[in-house]
Amino acid sequence: MSGNLKAFLDTIAVSEIGRWLLSHSDNGYNVIVGGGLFHDYKDHPRQVVEVKPGLHSTAAGRYQILSRYFEAYKSQLDLPDFSPASQDAIAVEMIRECHALPDIEAGHFEVAIAKCKSRWASLPGAGYGQHENQLTALRAAYEDAGGVVA
């Protein structure tokens, strides 16, 4: 995995989970939406959490993957579990589906974020009615993780 792609994955994790929770968990891989933790990677935890009144979510893991999407990617990518390696594979596939991999490799960070905003509610401009992080903060996280911006 290239340095830029690894830094982009780290940025998504910072955006979705936050630095504090990343450092107080298994690097985010065992986080349930809302800040809870799970301890078994055999399968997606499938816990429904009320994020705010009227908004429920099954998001879990470093990239806050919904249980229904996990099922599809598990089959598509022939994944054995919800381990860190499986979560990384799903996130890379989601990025690939957004056609953002070439932009990440070329250092076109802002373009890649814009292309991926449909997949992660915390990215700027996502429009899911949840907290969206500022592009400048995400770019700083990306550069802190070793990502290079063209």
Per-residue pLDDT of the chain (150 residues; tens, 9 = 90+): 799 999 999 999 999 999 999 999 999 999 999 889 999 999 999 999 998 888 899 999 999 999 999 999 999 999 999 999 999 999 999 999 999 999 999 999 999 999 999 999 999 999 887 888 999 999 999 999 999 999
> What are the C-alpha distances in Å from 84 to residues 79, 99, 132?
11, 23, 24
CATH code, 80: 1.10.530.10
Question: Which sequence positions are flagged as catalytic?
Answer: 16
Query: What's the total number of domains in the chain?
Result: 1
Total-model pTM = 0.94
Question: Mind giving me the DSSP string for 68-88?
Answer: HHHHHHHHHHT--SSSHHHHH
Q: Does 150 fall in a domain?
A: no
Question: In this structure, is residue 80 part of a structural domain?
Answer: yes
State the residue range of the domain holding 89: 3-144
Residue 149 lies in a domain: no
Q: Is residue 26 part of a domain?
A: yes
Q: Does residue 131 form part of some domain? A: yes
Residue 118 in domain: yes
Task: Establish if 125 belongs to a structural domain.
Answer: yes
The length of the chain in residues reads 150
